[in-house]
Structure 1
């Protein structure tokens, strides 16, 4: 079927060809729709009173409208053109029982009419009365309509795709009653529902996909991907559909089938007839008189998705369960229906790829399971956007600690959440893949040096001399290389860092000038320009302006994770935790290997004082991720640490016994020191955890008053008994990490002894300076529990009390293995 007024009943299609992109089987399962029940008797769809189009049709010779109502008079279904006198007939030309092709095809009746022709139900008598569809011209006196139908036949034969209707035969028919000779396309019959029927039934409160299957954005996205795959096959043949709309798509089984290609044409203006369009779906430039193009087809799909999403149960803003997926979907529709054709998706394949990724986002947010697919436009980055949360602290962690603070009540420092600086994020975000049509695309895809300065030198040589001096991609990569080289320099090298930033800006300006753009002119004509503008603004710590550029990239690529990662960081930096959580959560749910998103989400939870949710996010980082070990370290530190107390936190930001019990079990299995059982990293992390544990056990067992909080009485954690459960489970922590043994729980005295040993081990680590060694030995002596005895060789704290009661560590030497 074709054109305006296309059949809103049963359609026809095919099951052949393959989809585009991705592993075929996985993608087919992803895009599969709920199977519709087998259709009923096709004969029930035959029109008992077929009515020609009420708006008439152009005359086949002069183009004057014929068959329209005139001055209150009903339309004449057949007659002569009042302008040129050419005969016309808009009535169905085939009646029930009429035979074609020597009796092979028997007509059952008309199904509907399209823009150019009537569509009839028939059966193939040679194949056990298999239902088929016959399509002829609407006005058999219209020679141009006949030629258009022949053109449609040739076009449809050239396209082979499972979601495009399939032609079975072509027949010439001479009626026995002296009627007009006519040609008919024979197409397979497709039982199912048009998407217009899906919309209509949904509007009436019905569930066209099944009693337990309401229409959702996930269904709409699947419809869109399958439609776009079919259009991509059409576009590959140099054709455009021109009249995509819900009535021209049939949901059959688990797939859709595009019908009515009567308006399909080449976008070169060679068609002799006016384009067949539906104004409500057509692009503005086509409604204004322009010819259909690929950009027009993109617009019609966008309008189709927009209408379907309006009927979906989760299509309204803020719908439960869709999260950022809802926003991503509508960003995609906005780009597809942009008034400027140049700002729409460049191809059906590009739009399909982004819509598929939006579908994966919707699924992952609803189910909590990953639905990842590698990006086609961004390179994976090895950089973890973290500033130390997932790393074992160095000796500088204890620099500046006052020795006297270890003598009585130990208050361990609050864990730093590890938010990286904007300049570090600018250098560590994923990099766009080079455009395939860039002059230097081949060179840029080859392995290069890892040192940023070497990269700068290599690219500068490539840009000059005999290299592709016109390459925008080389300049953009130089921009990123300068940002990376800047981040390699120490913070105190301000002049050199400034030069690198100037180099990055210069290369970006050169690219903008080559494209005829004013600096920072918005919107950017290419998302790559917007992306690099955002990177440079981040490097300048202009986070608000960077966020605007990254939002442009999100609008252009709503299915990609890279702009969402950047926007999550911007929101986090600007103190908008809810927005940051939405972006980080969407990325992490879809791809648990994305460590940067997991760490960002963990930081958001830490800022709220939600220790367990932060640790659970990091626990969920996939073992196959390069950031898995860092995530495990961070989760252990979070469970043991003193955090900034949140509202209503009566524990002063300290953990509970459950978290410490997990730490005791997890610490031995961490991949530290290259897999060795002992080493500097394990020594430092053990010291940090024991310091937090000592802080905790003093309050559990010692009745310590928190600054600004309620005092702890005999019941612990204050009169409200906050610490009672922890005290009851102290024995659960018995072991090498926290002390205790033989049925005895850890004690403050035991933990002081263990922490003293840890400080002594830190002092003996390779590379420790004399000043660090002395400071750590002083800390070791200060934290050691009071004793009246001094072992030979013991080191006395010079700032201790009288010699009769020295505060001395009797330990002389131990291997740094604890």
Structure 2
């Protein structure tokens, strides 16, 4: 797995980054191998099936009032059986090459013995035989295990070295043994048992956490994906069959490995881990393996220090982890993950979320199922306002105390969000999958024309494309989202989107409406259509379905964060936006969503701080810097509590020159900021400032000295605070500059000139006294 994604994914990632994320802490050195030999080996209490193919009734099982007979003859057909270990300490095999040390355990099919390879300096190895040497079917299955596994070389699957027949000299039943590597370490069952102890399973007081559990799951699923690629299933996944060795895990006990739904083999499973359909008599499948991994992860999470609801430090990651387990263990096989690779991809996403939320560092990776979107889910907060901002302002409002307008927090409309959310990548098995991954036109109307041409293929005998119809649905929604309310075309576009979605549902044989469906793509597009209809609560239900199906993806969290924000549930909105933002600080839409949540709570500094942390490599960097400047300068609410403070205005004065703006944008932004600053200066002075001539110096200490505001933006000489007269003069100049910008209409220019004249400081002319007549 080093340097590339083997379990899932569409491309390479930085060498070593993926492996480092999945590395586990080293467990304390295991005991010497011989210390693990069982002094009193006890056969399985549930017995084993009789070796007679026609009988197969259990033998070696307890009966009331009688001791268990671990060897003897089947009481039903008389076939001989023995469930006791067949090899003795010191017994040689293969001409003395292997020397037995004793039994270690019994697996699903046979006893496992510790031995040494005398030709390799007594290197420890493992011998595996059958529990009942009189069972020819068990022997056949062991040979099949050897044949299937001998060619697989994977670091997380136990290696098979050799195969030896053994014919004891004392008349005991001949048997065959697989020679396997000795995996020194601790089983996950031992990890579970140690998790409750004070020292912790990893020593030094380090407890088992959800991050460890997710790493176990990713490595297990990587190994299972190798088996699945070879047409095999593992069947009997459980904590007992996984060894933590070094910083990796190794799957042992391969006795249950078989072809899916093999009618000639009884499955090797364990109650409590097996899927319901297998417990009801069905054969093991990939879906069954997924279920067993889910049950294993659930058991490990139950012992984790942060595995309980509301555990500190996990944030949304806890919920995402348990949603993944819920899908993996769903009662209906078609609702589970379709493969170990798909589950591994989602679990790795959950792991990245957990680590990001705990450390504050981003752990991002391109999504396998969603294409990145260039759209910013924002309604103007990160843009310089146009001249329409002053359209409704009367000039006379600037003569006395200026009441600057409130800052629009920039929450986009639901229809704009529907058009701007990330786009699902087309499935490669779709008839048009290859063509849909090619660059598409920018204009959504052109996309509609292009996609309509693909529909002609349906009439030529090709399999109907679901992805083409979903792409058409999104294109119509995009046109709808950019049309103004009341436009005649708007409703028609929405109906077209719904019709194309309905066609996709019919092709898949799914019910239309709000019913839950196993295909997350349909649920996603249902959510988009509901958003376009302004039915936000209904949309939220569909996006929650997608979150349950893809708990490791950021796209459904982004959608759910917006829905919660729209409903006014700020805590829930913050939880989703924060999880996306922590995992990838380039996600501008999450940063703006989180900033809007802080603004709704009046948390100016936190809102600006989030946007200032958008990295320069993000395409939304400039918008975030503009938004941060506006937030620090703005009036957020009526009354004095909504006004900026000196510290924020001082930061604005420092940051504004660094913004990349053209001359017109800079003039408009300066005018907006000066208007807010004048409002602040007047009201702060009226509330208790000291006035010296025309200087109004607010009295409250709010983090910056008034002199720090001096300069070209707010006026005031070197080391001197701004004054109302100076600010009025600068704002008047700003209005005149805006009035003479290219493209400004005559009426708007006249209005801006009137505003300039109104805001100018008043000047009193005093007629000189007349000289007396002589």
TM-score range, shorter chain: over 0.9
Q: Which 5+ residue runs of structure 2 have no aligned equivalent? A: 769-774
- Distance, in Å, in 2 between the alignment partners of 1:611 and 1:204 is 46
Q: What is residue 509 of structure 1 aligned with on the other side?
A: 502
Alignment of 1:477-556 (within 5 A): 477-493=471-487, 495-556=488-549
Instruction: Give the superposition deviation at 1:79.
Output: 1.0
- Distance, in Å, in 2 between the alignment partners of 1:317 and 1:304 is 18
CA contact (8 A) 2:444 2:479 kept: yes
Q: Does 1:232 align with 2:225?
A: yes
User: Which of the residues 370, 380, 387 maps onto 1:395?
Assistant: 387
Q: 1:17 to 1:621 in 2, by over 3 A?
A: closer
Instruction: Give the superposition deviation at 1:204.
Output: 4.2
Alignment of 1:110-121 (within 5 A): 110-121=103-114
User: Which of the residues 659, 672, 686 maps onto 1:670?
Assistant: 659
Q: 1:518 to 1:58 in 2, by over 3 A?
A: closer
- Secondary structure of the 2:31 match is coil
Alignment of 1:126-165 (within 5 A): 126-165=119-158
Q: Does 1:698 align with 2:682?
A: yes
Q: What is residue 363 of structure 1 aligned with on the other side?
A: 355
- Secondary structure of the 2:625 match is helix
Q: Deviations over 1:272-302 (max 9, x none)?
A: 3311110110100001111000000000000
User: Which of the residues 182, 204, 207 maps onto 2:200?
Assistant: 207
Q: 1:722 to 1:162 in 2, by over 3 A?
A: farther
Q: 1:491 to 1:191 in 2, by over 3 A?
A: same
Instruction: Give the superposition deviation at 1:640.
Output: 0.7
- Distance, in Å, in 2 between the alignment partners of 1:265 and 1:514 is 34
User: Which of the residues 772, 780, 795 maps onto 2:756?
Assistant: 780
Q: 1:395 to 1:804 in 2, by over 3 A?
A: farther
- Distance, in Å, in 1 between the alignment partners of 2:323 and 2:723 is 58
More deviation, 175-184/659-668: 175-184
Q: 1:143 to 1:804 in 2, by over 3 A?
A: farther
Q: What is residue 453 of structure 1 aligned with on the other side?
A: 445
- Secondary structure of the 1:532 match is helix
Q: Does 1:269 align with 2:262?
A: yes
User: TM-score, normalised on structure 2?
Assistant: 0.95
User: Which of the residues 752, 756, 779 maps onto 2:732?
Assistant: 756
CA contact (8 A) 2:103 2:114 kept: yes
Q: Does 1:475 align with 2:498?
A: no
Q: What is residue 312 of structure 2 aligned with on the other side?
A: 320
Q: What is residue 166 of structure 1 aligned with on the other side?
A: 159
User: Which of the residues 28, 35, 43 maps onto 2:26?
Assistant: 35
Q: What is residue 815 of structure 1 aligned with on the other side?
A: none
CA contact (8 A) 1:423 1:538 kept: yes
User: Which of the residues 707, 723, 729 maps onto 1:731?
Assistant: 707
Instruction: Give the superposition deviation at 1:525.
Output: 2.5
CA contact (8 A) 2:163 2:176 kept: yes
CA contact (8 A) 1:15 1:163 kept: no
- Distance, in Å, in 1 between the alignment partners of 2:19 and 2:511 is 45
Q: 1:18 to 1:102 in 2, by over 3 A?
A: farther
- Distance, in Å, in 1 between the alignment partners of 2:703 and 2:49 is 90
Q: What is residue 766 of structure 1 aligned with on the other side?
A: 742
Q: What is residue 591 of structure 1 aligned with on the other side?
A: 584
Q: Does 1:20 align with 2:7?
A: yes
Q: 1:211 to 1:499 in 2, by over 3 A?
A: same
Instruction: Give the superposition deviation at 1:490.
Output: 2.9
Q: Does 1:688 align with 2:663?
A: no
Q: Deviations over 1:91-117 (max 9, x none)?
A: 111111111111111111110111211
Q: What is residue 772 of structure 2 aligned with on the other side?
A: none
Q: What is residue 74 of structure 2 aligned with on the other side?
A: 81
Alignment of 1:529-678 (within 5 A): 529-644=522-637, 651-673=640-662
CA contact (8 A) 1:18 1:162 kept: no
Q: Deviations over 1:226-275 (max 9, x none)?
A: 000000001111111111001111111000001111011101424x3311
CA contact (8 A) 2:681 2:724 kept: yes
Q: Which 5+ residue runs of structure 1 have no aligned equivalent? A: 1-13, 674-678, 704-710, 790-802, 806-818
- Distance, in Å, in 1 between the alignment partners of 2:6 and 2:416 is 40
Q: What is residue 364 of structure 2 aligned with on the other side?
A: 372
More deviation, 146-155/603-612: 146-155
Aligned CA RMSD, in angstroms, stands at: 2.0
Instruction: Give the superposition deviation at 1:65.
Output: 1.5
User: TM-score, normalised on structure 1?
Assistant: 0.90
Q: 1:439 to 1:64 in 2, by over 3 A?
A: same
CA contact (8 A) 2:227 2:233 kept: yes
Instruction: Give the superposition deviation at 1:400.
Output: 1.1
> How many residue pairs are counted as aligned between the two chains?
756
- Distance, in Å, in 2 between the alignment partners of 1:226 and 1:458 is 43
- Distance, in Å, in 1 between the alignment partners of 2:703 and 2:98 is 88
- Distance, in Å, in 1 between the alignment partners of 2:147 and 2:298 is 32
User: Which of the residues 341, 357, 360 maps onto 1:349?
Assistant: 341
- Distance, in Å, in 2 between the alignment partners of 1:16 and 1:85 is 58
Q: 1:399 to 1:106 in 2, by over 3 A?
A: same
More deviation, 388-397/72-81: 72-81
- Secondary structure of the 2:330 match is coil
Q: What is residue 290 of structure 1 aligned with on the other side?
A: 282
CA contact (8 A) 1:788 1:804 kept: no
CA contact (8 A) 2:481 2:532 kept: no
Q: Deviations over 1:40-92 (max 9, x none)?
A: 21111101111111221111112121112233111112111122222111111
Q: Does 1:50 align with 2:41?
A: yes
- Secondary structure of the 1:371 match is coil
- Secondary structure of the 1:116 match is coil
Q: Deviations over 1:10-61 (max 9, x none)?
A: xxxx999984345251110000000112222111110111111122111111
Instruction: Give the superposition deviation at 1:402.
Output: 1.5
- Distance, in Å, in 1 between the alignment partners of 2:669 and 2:373 is 27
- Distance, in Å, in 2 between the alignment partners of 1:60 and 1:469 is 50
Q: Does 1:408 align with 2:400?
A: yes
CA contact (8 A) 1:16 1:160 kept: no
Q: What is residue 11 of structure 1 aligned with on the other side?
A: none
- Distance, in Å, in 2 between the alignment partners of 1:540 and 1:639 is 34
CA contact (8 A) 2:688 2:698 kept: no
User: Which of the residues 411, 417, 424 maps onto 1:425?
Assistant: 417
- Distance, in Å, in 1 between the alignment partners of 2:526 and 2:269 is 40
Instruction: Give the superposition deviation at 1:724.
Output: 2.3
Q: What is residue 8 of structure 1 aligned with on the other side?
A: none
CA contact (8 A) 1:295 1:341 kept: yes
CA contact (8 A) 1:17 1:161 kept: no
Q: 1:17 to 1:785 in 2, by over 3 A?
A: closer
